[in-house]
Amino acid sequence: MSSNRHVVIIGNGIAGITCARQLRKLDGSVRITVISGESKYFFARTALMYIFMGHMKFEHTQPYENWFWEKNRIELKEGWVESIDFTAKNVLFQSGQNIQYDDLVIATGSKPNKFGWPGEDLQGVQGLYSKQDLELMEENTTNAVNRAVIVGGGLIGIEMAEMLAYKKIPVTFLVRESGFWSNVLPKEESELVSRHMREHHIDLRLNEELDEIISDQNAHVKAIRTKSGEEIKCQFVGLTAGVTPSIDFLRNTELDVNRGVKVNFGFQTNIPNVYSIGDCAEFHEVPAPDRKPVEQVWYTGRMHGETLGYILAGKKVAYKPGIWFNSAKFLDIEYQTYGTVPARWDAEKVKSFYWEHASGKVFFRMLMDMQGRILGVNNFGFRLRHEFFDQVIREQWDGGKVISKLDKANFDPEFFAPYYIEIQKAYKGKYGGDITVSKKTFIQKLFGANV
Amino acid sequence: MKLIQKLGILLFLVGMAVFTVMPFLGTYTLTEELVLSRTKDIHQEKMTEILSPMYGETYSSNFSFISAFKENFNSYNDVLEEESKWDDVIWDDYSFPLAQASVNSPVRANPWLFMGLSIGLAVLGGLMYNLPKYREEPVGIKNNGIFHSAMKNRGWMGMITGAYLILFYIILYWFPAFIVNQVWMVSPMSMILSGNPASQWFLYGTIYTLAISVMGVRMFRKYRGNKYQQLRTASVMFFQTAFAFLIPEILVLFNQPYFDFKNIWPLDYDFFYDYQIDTFLSSGGVGMFMLIWGILLIVIGVPVFTYFFGKRWYCSWVCGCGGLAETLGDPYRQLSDKSVKAWKYERVIIHTVLVVAVVMTALTIVNYFSGFALLGNVTNQLHSFYGFAIGSVFAGVIGTGFYPFMGNRVWCRFGCPLAAYLGLVQRFKSRFRITTNGGQCISCGNCSTHCEMGIDVRWYAQRGQEIVRSSCVGCGVCSSVCPRGVLNLENGSEGNRINEMPIIIGNDSIKINA
C-alpha cells in the first residue's frame, strides 16, 4: 500500500469508526480521515436515551477518550457533506471546503422514516436517531407536555416511551400491527412486551394508525387523529416507524442507489474506490437467507466496518455474517435472540418449544426443524451465553441435547433463579426422551434461589 | 415523592440538625478533682498546676473552654520546647478527656433523649425515605436522573454533603474535644455493650454502622430482583454490625482485647505494632488465637479466597470501608474518573502505599525482636506519619469525605494497601474475571459510567475481551446495569482468562488466530 493513500470515511458511527480502527490496526501508514457533522467524536447512539434520562452524560457515551484519535492518527473532520465529485475524487462540504480521497467509505447511517403524514414537519414532531434529535427532544419536552403520542412499534419507539416516562409525560403508543414489534417477535413474545408496556402505564393502541397530525396556530402540534377517527390531544409526537438510509445527498448522482447505496459483499459500489457500509448500505442480494439486504443493527454495522477495514488493508475477504444474534431491552425486560426465530413460521416445517414463567416476564422459545435440530432461540428476562448458542446452532445440535446442556448456557449472575431447570423440566414434559435436568448447585440451595 | 418520603427527609434533616448543634450546648466547668481523675499519674502534678487558673470558672461554650485550656497548656509546653527540654514536654492531648469531664449539658443529662432526637430521627427518617422507594414501579434498576441531581452530580447538595463529611472527619480525628456531647450521648449504649464509657471511636462506629444499615435498605430497594446485589449488601451489613461493631465491644465486656476479626493487615496497619503484639501475647489463649487468626488471614485467607472468588470476597462482601462505599457511597459511584490518566495515578499511588505499609511493618517487627535497638525512633516517626497521612487523611477525610466529588471508592481505589495486595493476587493468580457475552456489547457505556473503581469496562466489553483488572472489587453493578446482558462475574479456569486477541462472535468474514 502506498504510504500517501488517503481513505476518507463519511460518518463516524459504529460502522465507520470500526472500519477506521481496523484499517489502522492493519496498516500503519495509510492516512485516515473520518467526517461527521453530527459530532466530532464517536459516541454510541444506542445510549442517547440514557443521556435524556440522566443515567449518563454525553461524554460517557464516547467509547474512546479524545486523545485516542490523535494517538492512532485517525483525523477527525467536522462538517456536513454537500456532495461528492466522484470523478475528481473530491468530497465537498456545505461550508465550501473540500477533501481529496483515494478510497471513499460512505457510512452515513439512517434517518427516521416519514411516510408523508399530514403535519409530520410540525414543531413538536420528531424521530430519534441522532445527537441533534436528542437535543431537539430535550427542547420539545422542556415546556409542559401533557401527553405524547408515539407512532410505530419498534425499538426506538419503546425507548422514546421510556424517556418520556422519565419526565412523567403520559404516552399513547400507536402500533399499526396487531402486536408490538410483531414483524419480528412471535405472538407470545409480542404479548409479553405489550403487557409490560401497559404495566408501565403506556397507553398501547394496537391496530391503530396515524391519520393526521393537527397544528395549532403556531405550527406546533396540538393533537393527532387516528385512522379510526379518534382525536388525541398531545404536544409531542414521536415518529418511530423504522429508519431509512440517510443518503439524500447521493441521489441523482452516478452512484447506484436504491433504498441504500448498492454494494456487493466486498462493500464495493458501482464506482471504483467507493465503498459503503452500515445502515446506509444495501446488498445486491441478501447476505444469508434469514437476513435483509439493508442491515440496520449495531452489530451488523460493526461487522461491516471490521470486514471493510480488512478489505481496505488489502486482504481478500468478503462479508460473510455468522449465526444471527440480536438483543434489546424493553423497559425492564432484557431480550436476546440467537439464530433464526422469525415472527411466523410454517408449523409443518418448524417445531416450536416455549416456556413462560408465572410472572409473565421470563420467557424462552426454541425453534427446531422437523428432525429436532435447533434453529434459534428467543429469551426474555434472563441471559443466555452467545458463545454457546453460536456453537450449537452452527453445529445443528439436537434440541434435546441443547436443553440438557442449558445450564452451560446460563449467563445470569450468581444466586439468580435457575430458570434453566424449569425449562429442562418443561421440555422433558413435552417431548420426553433422555433430557438431563440440572441439579441446583449448593449455593443455589443455600440461598434459596427459587424460580 | 410520597408524603411519607417527604416526612422522612424532614425527620432526617431535623436529626442531622440536632446532631450538628449539639457541640454548642452546655457549659464547661473544670475542677482539680476532674484533672486528677482524667490525667495519667505522671502528669497529674503538672496538669493540676498548669490548669489551676481554670478551676471554678464556667465557660459558656466549648470554644472558650478549649481556647482557655490551650492557652494554659501551651504556655507550659512552649517554654519547655524552646528550651529543648523534650523529656518534660507533655505530649498527651488532654483536651478531649477534660472537656468531656467538664461539660455540663442537657445532652449529658439526657443522653437517650438526644440520641433519639438526633441519630434516632435521622435513622427513622432515612428508613421512611428509603423503604417506600420504587414501591409502585415494576422490578428493575433505575438510575433515572442521577446526572440531573444536585446531590449525585457534584451539584450544591453534593458539595454541602462532602463539606459536612470532611468537617466531621477533621473534628473526629484531630479536634474530638468539640464533640464531647455526642460522645456522652452514646455512652449509655457503650456501657451496655462493653461496660465502658464511650470514646469518640464508639460514636464513630455507631454512626458508621447505622449509615451502612439505613443505606443498605436503600440498596435492597434499588436492586430489587437482583439477588447478587441483595446478598452482598446483606453481607456487608452483617459484617459491619457483628464483626466490626458488636463483637469487639462484647470482647471488651469479657475483658478480652478489642479485636475486629475481619480486619486484615495492611488495611489494619497497626496489627503488628508493639502495643498490639503485647496485647495479644498478654491475653492468654484468646489473644494468641487473635494473633494467629490475623496472620492466617494474611498468608492463607487472602490468597486462597482471592484465587477462587477474586478480591470481591473481601472488598464488596466483608470489608467495612467497602461496606460504607457500597451503601452510603452507592449514590456517588458514577463520579469515579474513568480516564487512562486516572488509572496511571491509581497504580502508582496504591502500590506506593502498599510498599510503605510493608516497609513500616517490617521495620516494626525487626525492632520488636531487637528490642528497639536499631530504628526505634524512626519507626515511631513512620507510625505517626502513616497514621496521620494514610490512616486518617487518606482513608477517612478523603476516603469518605470525597464521596460526592470523586466517587465512593477513592480510598479503595487509590489508597488501600490491602486492596493492592488482593489486587495483585486477583490480577496474576485467580479464577475470577468478568466475562463478556460474545458480540452483544453496544458500547453504550452504562458499565463504565457506573463502575465505582473507574474501570473502563466498555473498553474490554466492546472488544469481546474478558475483564481482568486488579482493581475490580466485584460489586457486579456493571453486569446489573448492562442493557444487553453482556457482562457476568465468573470464577472459571485460568486458561483463556486473559485473551489479548479477542474475537467478536458473529462475523465469519474474518478469522483471527487467537
pLDDT tens-place string over residues B13-38: 999 999 999 999 999 999 999 999 99
Give residue B98's domain range. 27-104
Task: State whether CATH 3.50.50.60 applies to domain A6-111+244-312.
Answer: yes
CATH number, residue B456: 3.30.70.20
CA distances for B108 relative to A370, B187, B409, angstroms: 83, 9, 36
Q: What DSSP string describes B191-229?
A: HHHHSS---HHHHHHHHHHHHHHHHHHHHHHHTTT-HHH
Q: Give CA–CA dist B248/B259, Å, rounded.
A: 5
Before B266, cis peptide (omega within 30)? yes
Q: Do B444 and A411 touch (CB under 8 A)?
A: no
Q: Which helix (H) or strand (E) holds A92?
A: strand A90-93
Q: Do B509 and A327 touch (CB under 8 A)?
A: no
SS3 B40: coil
- Can you count the helices (H) and strands (E) in chain A? 12, 25
Mean of the pLDDT values across residues A236-260?
96
Mean of the pLDDT values across residues A234-243?
96
**The three cell numbers locating residue A312:** 481496505
Mean of the pLDDT values across residues B333-338?
97
**Percentage of chain B surpassing pLDDT 70?**
98
Q: Do domains A6-111+244-312 and A325-446 have the same CATH topology?
A: no
Find the CB nearest A44 among B144, B145, B443. B443
Mean of the pLDDT values across residues A335-342?
97
- pLDDT tens, position by position, A289-304: 989 999 999 999 999 9
- Which residue ranges make up each domain of chain A? 6-111+244-312, 125-241, 325-446
> Is pLDDT above 50 for A372?
yes
Pairing of strands A231-233, A350-356: unpaired
Q: Do A57 and B147 touch (CB under 8 A)?
A: yes
**Percentage of chain A surpassing pLDDT 90?**
95
pLDDT band at B511 (very low <50, low <70, confident <90, very high): confident
Whether residue B12 lies inside any domain: the answer is: no
Chain pair A-B, CB pairs under 8 angstroms: 159
B499 in contact with A at a CB cutoff of 8 Å? no
Sequence-distant (6+) residues with CB within 8 A of A340 are: A290, A324, A367, A375, A376
What are the backbone angles phi and psi of residue B74, rounded to the nearest 5°?
-65, -35
- Of the candidates B104, B128, B160, which is a domain's last residue? B104
**The three cell numbers locating residue A397:** 445440535
- Of the candidates B63, B79, B104, which is a domain's last residue? B104
Residue B378 vs residue B401, higher pLDDT: B401
Q: Please tell me which residue of chain A has the smallest CA distance to B448.
A: A60
Residue B377, pLDDT score = 79
What sections of B223-334 are H helices per DSSP? 227-238, 247-253, 274-281, 284-296, 302-309, 312-315, 320-327
Residue B368, pLDDT score = 86
Beta bridge partners of A106: A10, A276
Residue B141, min C-alpha distance to chain A (Å): 8
Mean of the pLDDT values across residues A13-23?
97
The CATH class that applies to domain A125-241 reads: alpha beta
> Is pLDDT above 60 for A315?
yes
Give the mean pLDDT of chain B.
94
Q: pTM of the predicted model, to two decimals? A: 0.95
Beta bridge partners of A363: A356, A380
Mean of the pLDDT values across residues A299-321?
96
Mean of the pLDDT values across residues B84-98?
89
- pLDDT tens, position by position, B390-404: 999 999 999 999 999
Amino acid A440 reads K
SS3 B399: helix
Residue B478, min C-alpha distance to chain A (Å): 11
Pairing of strands B27-29, B58-59: antiparallel
Burial of A284 by CB count in 10 Å (0-12 exposed, 13-18 middle, 19+ buried)?
A: exposed
Q: Do B138 and A331 touch (CB under 8 A)?
A: yes
Pairing of strands B27-29, B103-104: antiparallel
Residue B101, pLDDT score = 96
Lowest mean pLDDT among B77-91, B200-214, B332-346, B347-361: B77-91
Mean of the pLDDT values across residues B128-137?
93
Torsion over CA: B385, B388, B392, B395 (sign): negative
For chain A positions 23-52, those within 8 Å of chain B (CB to CB) are 44, 46-47, 50
Mean of the pLDDT values across residues B211-217?
98
Q: How far is CA A148 from the centre of its chain?
A: 23
Torsion over CA: A35, A38, A44, A45 (sign): negative
Sequence-distant (6+) residues with CB within 8 A of A34 are: A9, A11, A12, A16, A17, A20, A42, A74, A75, A76, A77
Number of domains chain B contains? 2
Q: Please tell me which residue of chain B has the smallest CA distance to A318.
A: B509
Mean of the pLDDT values across residues B323-335?
98
Cβ-based contacts of A321 with chain B (< 8 Å): 506-509
Q: Which helix (H) or strand (E) holds A112?
A: strand A110-112
pLDDT band at A261 (very low <50, low <70, confident <90, very high): very high
Cβ-based contacts of A322 with chain B (< 8 Å): 505-508
Residue B68, pLDDT score = 95
- pLDDT tens, position by position, A391-412: 999 999 999 999 999 999 999 9
Q: Please tell me which residue of chain A has the smallest CA distance to B511.
A: A317
How many CB atoms sit inside 10 A of residue A298's CB? Answer: 24
Sequence-distant (6+) residues with CB within 8 A of B301 are: B264
Whether residue B440 lies inside any domain: the answer is: yes
Q: Do B444 and A44 touch (CB under 8 A)?
A: yes
> Is pLDDT above 70 for B500?
no
B496 in contact with A at a CB cutoff of 8 Å? no
pLDDT band at B514 (very low <50, low <70, confident <90, very high): very low
SS3 A427: helix
> Is pLDDT above 90 for B330?
yes
Residue (of B338, B346, B321, B334) closest to B477 by Cα position: B334
- pLDDT tens, position by position, A165-204: 999 999 999 999 999 999 999 999 999 999 999 999 999 9
- Of the candidates B104, B137, B156, which is a domain's last residue? B104
Q: Please tell me which residue of chain B has the smallest CA distance to A339.
A: B506
B502 in contact with A at a CB cutoff of 8 Å? no
Cβ-based contacts of B496 with chain A (< 8 Å): none
- pLDDT tens, position by position, A145-157: 999 999 998 899 9
pLDDT band at B208 (very low <50, low <70, confident <90, very high): very high
Whether residue B443 lies inside any domain: the answer is: yes
> Assign residue A182 a region: left if phi > 0, alpha if psi is -120 to 50, beta otherwise?
alpha
What are the backbone angles phi and psi of residue B122, rounded to the nearest 5°?
-65, -45
Give the mean pLDDT of chain A.
96
Residue B374, min C-alpha distance to chain A (Å): 51
Q: Do A299 and B148 touch (CB under 8 A)?
A: no
Instruction: Select from B463, B507, B512, B513 the residue whose CB has the most chain A CBs within 10 Å, as the one to mutate to test that interface.
Output: B507
Task: Give the ipTM.
Answer: 0.95
Whether residue B477 lies inside any domain: the answer is: yes
- pLDDT tens, position by position, B257-278: 999 999 999 999 999 998 999 9
Sequence-distant (6+) residues with CB within 8 A of B410 are: B398, B399, B402, B403
- pLDDT tens, position by position, A106-132: 999 999 999 999 999 999 999 999 999
Q: Do B476 and A413 touch (CB under 8 A)?
A: yes
Whether residue B348 lies inside any domain: the answer is: no
Sequence-distant (6+) residues with CB within 8 A of A333 are: A192, A193, A196, A361, A380, A381
Find the CB nearest A306 among B139, B449, B510. B510
pLDDT band at B372 (very low <50, low <70, confident <90, very high): low
Torsion over CA: A138, A139, A142, A148 (sign): negative
**The three cell numbers locating residue B27:** 457549659
Helix-strand-coil percent breakdown of chain A, rounded to 5? 25, 25, 45
Q: Give CA–CA dist A316/A288, Å, rounded.
A: 20
Residue B379, pLDDT score = 85
pLDDT band at B432 (very low <50, low <70, confident <90, very high): very high
pLDDT band at B371 (very low <50, low <70, confident <90, very high): confident
Q: Give CA–CA dist B4/A423, Å, rounded.
A: 42
Fold of the A325-446 domain? Enolase-like; domain 1 (3.30.390)
Whether residue B293 lies inside any domain: the answer is: no
- pLDDT tens, position by position, B450-473: 999 999 999 999 999 999 999 999
